[in-house]
Amino acid sequence: MDRRPNPAAGTDPLLQLTAVPSLPTGPGVTRHLSHPQELTLRGIPVMCSVCRARRDWLLINHGRNVWVICRCGNQWLEPEITRADFDALIFFPDGTVYPSLDQALAALGFDGTFAGTYLN
């Protein structure tokens, strides 16, 4: 069996497109976005009500809703952030797909493991 790479795939744009995995899309998809900076809504900085953190958030978008999640594990639905706002913040999705939201929170360190810690 010949396991050498196909040289045409490196030069043919159509073959390159077929080799790139596509991300899940549609209304039922849950997307995440790390937001290490402070988050200001209507001129007021967002602060975690549990640990008082002021930055290093995870934003989760599902449908029209956006949740803010703190490193301490506290999370809340944020009606001030719309799906359009989320889309404007997400320049380059990292492409990582997690089997569940709980596994994503654990892998990204937003399950309470790093409570009280800024990782940037």
Residue 114: how many CB atoms within 10 A of its CB? Answer: 16
**pTM, 2 dp:** 0.66
Of 87, 75, 71, 80, nearest to 44 by C-alpha is 80
pLDDT confidence of residue 13 = 61
Q: What is the pLDDT of residue 18?
A: 55
Domain ranges of the chain: 24-108
Give the chain's mean pLDDT.
Answer: 79
User: What tens digit of pLDDT does each residue of 50-65 get?
Assistant: 999 999 999 999 989 9
Tokens of 42: 């209507």
Averaged pLDDT, 75-92: 87
- Identify the top-confidence range among 13-22, 72-81, 85-94: 72-81
- The band of 88, judged by pLDDT with boundaries at 50, 70 and 90, is confident
